[in-house]
Amino acid sequence: MADALLANGSAEPKAPFSVSKYNSSVERKVKEFPKVWVQGVITQLQVRGKVAYLTLAEFAEGDAKPKAVLDVILWTWNLDDYNARFAQLPTPFSLRPELKVSFLLEASFYAPSGRFQPKVLDVDETFTLGELSLTRGKILEKLRKEGLLERNKKLPFSDVPLRVGLITSKGSAAFQDFTTVLLQSGFSFQIHFASARMQGAATEETVVAALETLAPLRLDAICLIRGGGSKTDLVFFDSERICRAIAGCPVPVLTGIGHEIDRSLADMVAYADMLTPTDCAKFLEGRVGESWNDLVEKASSLREAWELAYQDQGHNVIRKAEWLSSAWKGRARRESGRMAEGARNTAAAARRMLRAGRDKMALNFTGLLRGPSKVIRLESVGLELKEKLIQSADPAALLKRGFTLVFTGKNEWIANAEQLKTGQEIKIRFSDGAAAARVLGKEDQPWKPAN
């Protein structure tokens, strides 16, 4: 009855359904839907116990937001079987996020929780291989057009690459193999390590971050290596971001991540690619060893050339020493004669200087004897003149010549007529006495001597 109601599309059944009855009815109806192939991109993959939960998404060209999503399930043992099968393919891969897939789905409705969850019955690996090849080809062509395949290869490579950057998983066998070769080489290698994941979804992000960390350092080379593992892990090194990071790195990048017959895109853009981490380390050791041997050969050649030059120079030195000895003796004789003549000239000049000195001293002595009497006479004449000047300025001498001095009653000297007042008592001093007087008046006109 419930199926009939659902088929008729009735929105209001005569008797209401329970939740379980409704879910069971939907489950029976969903089972009638045919099995179909569905294509999409895996955006999530989580394993919980016996079940793997996957999310498929459909994207429009150039749009990062999905147009539609679909949650599907897969038994864990089936997931392992698929991955084991895919690992044996010429281009191995494993089911993972960001992978384009084509699943054969069986519609399923889980009645207890009312969830629609299709089951994966099969996987079309040819579709995924085609998509992987297409994606890889597009990335390779893009790198080629932009000239990125050769950029890192054009960098100069040091003849003595002792400062080495290392990118691999921390504590891995690759790390041990690589460092053991360099540390036991006998050369002073300096290893700057940056850890990164070598498999899984985090490979791209961590490898790019490690390259960005090591690039600014003054290194001779950076080695990107991984140990033994599944061939499916190589797909992570076809990442466009990793390839661009290697191509744009200012330091030559060596890779040791591939198998004998497989090359990733990262290998193609690197300066050089090796099979294993040990091969990568031996390449550096060999490079330094060649430089060391070349240096030893050049040192030996230089020593032989020096010995020959020393012998030739020895004979030249002996000849030059003999010539210098003869030249020195002749020069010594000439210099000896010049020195003798110079000594005679110096002695004669000294005698002339002594005679001139004695004559000058005699003149100075005579001057010293006569000089004091002249000085005394000149000083005496000067004193007489000064005494006469002093005497001529004496008021008494002025009075003797007929001049008078006028004082107030308080004996204050009157120098001009402005100091006099009518009726004022004054004293007039002469050379032989003084007289009292009273001022009767003043005249404004200055005194002039009679003609």
**Distance separating alpha carbons of residues 184 and 345, to the nearest angstrom:** 81
Q: Please give the C-alpha separations between residue 377 and each of 95, 227, 277, 364, 385, in angstroms, as whole numbers.
A: 136, 124, 119, 20, 13
Residue 141 has what pLDDT? 86
> Mind listing the domains of the chain with CATH numbers?
33-124 (2.40.50.140), 138-288 (3.40.50.261), 397-438 (no CATH)
pTM above 0.75, yes or no: no
Cβ–Cβ < 8 Å for 266, 238? yes
Q: Please give the C-alpha separations between residue 129 and each of 103, 277, 381, in angstroms, as whole numbers.
A: 14, 28, 138
3-state secondary structure (DSSP) of residue 176:
helix
Residue 11 has what pLDDT? 54
3-state secondary structure (DSSP) of residue 377:
helix
Residue 180 has what pLDDT? 94
Question: For residue 439, which of 417, 419, 428, 424 has the smallest C-alpha distance?
Answer: 424
Question: For residue 119, which of 75, 83, 58, 85 has the smallest C-alpha distance?
Answer: 75
Helix 240-247 to helix 203-214 angle, to the nearest 10 degrees?
Answer: 10
DSSP character string of 384-421: HHHHHHHHHT-HHHHHHTT--EEEETT-PBP-SGGG--
3-state secondary structure (DSSP) of residue 32:
coil
3-state secondary structure (DSSP) of residue 348:
helix
Angle, alpha carbons 100-104-107 (nearest 5°):
120
The total of other beta-carbon atoms located within 10 Å of residue 253's CB is 26
**Distance separating alpha carbons of residues 24 and 109, to the nearest angstrom:** 9
Residue 1 has what pLDDT? 43
CA-based torsion, 28, 33, 35, 38: positive or negative: negative
**Distance separating alpha carbons of residues 286 and 105, to the nearest angstrom:** 56
Token pair 């050969």: residue: 297
Q: What share of the chain is helix, strand, coil (3-state, %, to 5)?
A: 50, 20, 30
Residue 252 has what pLDDT? 96
**Distance separating alpha carbons of residues 335 and 45, to the nearest angstrom:** 105
Cβ–Cβ < 8 Å for 53, 65? no
Per-residue pLDDT of the chain (451 residues; tens, 9 = 90+): 445 445 455 555 578 888 888 888 888 888 888 999 988 888 888 999 999 999 888 877 766 677 888 999 999 999 999 888 887 877 777 888 878 888 999 988 888 888 888 999 988 877 766 666 667 778 888 888 999 989 999 999 999 999 999 999 988 899 999 999 999 999 999 999 999 998 877 888 999 999 999 999 999 999 999 876 666 567 778 888 999 999 999 999 999 986 655 678 899 899 999 988 999 999 999 999 999 998 888 888 788 778 787 777 777 778 888 888 888 887 888 888 788 888 788 878 888 888 888 888 888 777 777 766 676 777 777 787 877 777 776 777 777 777 788 888 777 878 777 778 888 888 888 878 888 888 888 777 676 666 5
Please enumerate in sequence order all residues whose Cβ is within 8 A of that of 157, keeping only pairs 6 or more positions apart, or say none.
220, 221, 252, 271, 287
Task: Specify the DSSP class assigned to residue 189.
Answer: -
